[in-house]
Structure 1
Amino acid sequence: MSEVVFLTIKLALLTTLSLVVLATPLAWWLARTRSWLKIPLSALVTLPIVLPPTVLGFYILVLLAPDGWIGVWTHQYGFGPRAFSFSGLLFGSIIYSLPFAVQPLQNSFQAMGTRPLEVAATLGLNPWRRFFKVALPLAKPGYISAMVLVFAHTLGEFGVILMIGGNIPGRTKVISTAIYDYVEMLQYDKAHLLAAGLLLFSFVIMVSLYTFQRRNERPWTR
């Protein structure tokens, strides 16, 4: 059971760290652009929220298969098939949790308006320094919300995990699939232990997030 918990936390941490990096430029572009691409790209980013996890998991599995777009590339460069592996789970988790990272960051970037950046420009800061010295600190609440939501969301993944990784002990078996196993084997005591722990942790982390957001609410001057 400890191996299952460790693998789940490892997956959640790596997904969270990956999305902090990957979602930042995407959220910044969505918050600042007036391009016609904003609407279709926003819809694409949001798709994992509305799609059934098995549908998303199926298409990711197709991509990772030996004859899939990604599978062909990984096989060609000696990485082997990524389906039913931890790296495959990580890839799927990043796609599945993408909107939970992009949306809080995009909202934070939009909420700060243009005035802080304009003031920084008058002080001689170039675009990169304006972003790192002004935009990122002001978007701190968005980053905390994104990290908490992604981490918590990854802990509860099931459909995508099962489609991409199956339920291989030590490789792809996480808390959600372990609970499913225990229920199938009628081992309700072990299922209760994992489920109750996940429920309690999720409740505490969401209370903490809402408390943080309430303390940091303030109007932005545009």
Structure 2
Amino acid sequence: MDLTPIWLTLKLAGITTLLLLTFGLPLAWWLSKKRSLVKIIIEAIITMPLVLPPSVLGFYLLLAFSPQHGVGKWLHDNFNLQFVFSFEGLVLASVIYSMPFMISPVKSAFQQLPASLSQASYTLGKTQWQTLRQVLLPNIKPSLLTAIVLTFAHTLGEFGVVLMIGGNIPGVTRVASIAVYDSVEQMDYAAANNYSLILFAITFILVISVFVYNKYQVKSSLE
């Protein structure tokens, strides 16, 4: 069995999760503060991947970043960047598609924290960034871990959106979910089963780890 699709999938999930951690945490913190029309619109846009069919999102990403027109043409002509049918395109699509799985749990956790935590931190002279990093994030570790695992696991199973923008190029964009589909199309059920079992095992271990960690955290807080 060719394990390249598995390694490519793990690489994609890891990069997607790291990118969403980098800008998703500050964005979730900002969204958790006082509501405004702008924030409502941004939240609605972030939530769209949850309700849109993946193929629809992938189709519009394909149009937007096509090197023949629009943003894609501008990026290609000025920076020689091409997101369509490339691994970079998979990363872009995965970040957009998995964004609600990172931002929503973290935003909800921030909103549940008492405002006195931030106020006390500011009183002690800490900046907003120091307050976020040293005070708020340590208090939402279970939710943060859940968001990380959900983002990683969700990226592992992406199919429609990555197929639309990345195609099916072996070693470049052929991730595990597409390999499963290809194997079934070729009636190679043994290969499809192997890919599926690996994805299932990885996801199951991740989810179980979150439940065990959260249970341990609750038990520790009660002692």
The residue number in structure 1 matching 2:41 is 40
User: Which structure 2 residue ranges, 5 or more long, are not aligned?
Assistant: none
- AA paired with 1:60? L
The 2-side partners of 1:212 and 1:52 are apart by 32
User: Which structure 1 residue ranges, 5 or more long, are not aligned?
Assistant: none
Q: Which stretch of the first structure deviates more once superposed, 39-48 or 170-179?
A: 39-48
The 1-side partners of 2:31 and 2:217 are apart by 23
1:27 and 2:19 aligned: no
Runs of 4+ in 1 over 4 A off after TM superposition: none
The residue number in structure 2 matching 1:112 is 113
- CA pair 84-113 structure 1, distance change in 2 beyond 3 A: same
1:204 and 2:210 aligned: no
User: TM-score, structure 1 length as denominator?
Assistant: 0.92
The 1-side partners of 2:216 and 2:162 are apart by 35
- AA paired with 2:148? M
- CA pair 68-99 structure 1, distance change in 2 beyond 3 A: farther
Q: Which stretch of the first structure deviates more once superposed, 198-207 or 41-50?
A: 198-207
The 1-side partners of 2:178 and 2:193 are apart by 13
Q: Is the 8 A contact 1:108 1:141 kept in 2?
A: no
The residue number in structure 1 matching 2:85 is 84
Percent of aligned pairs with the same residue? 43
Q: How many residues align?
A: 219
- AA paired with 2:191? K
How much does 1:210 deviate? Answer: 2.2
- CA pair 128-80 structure 1, distance change in 2 beyond 3 A: closer
- AA paired with 1:172? T
1:49 and 2:26 aligned: no
User: TM-score, structure 2 length as denominator?
Assistant: 0.92
The 2-side partners of 1:213 and 1:43 are apart by 29
Structure-to-structure mapping, 1:98-109, within 5 angstroms: 98-109=99-110
- CA pair 137-194 structure 1, distance change in 2 beyond 3 A: same
- AA paired with 1:164? I
- AA paired with 1:16? T
How much does 1:208 deviate? Answer: 1.6
How much does 1:217 deviate? Answer: 4.4
The 2-side partners of 1:179 and 1:141 are apart by 32
- CA pair 78-121 structure 1, distance change in 2 beyond 3 A: closer
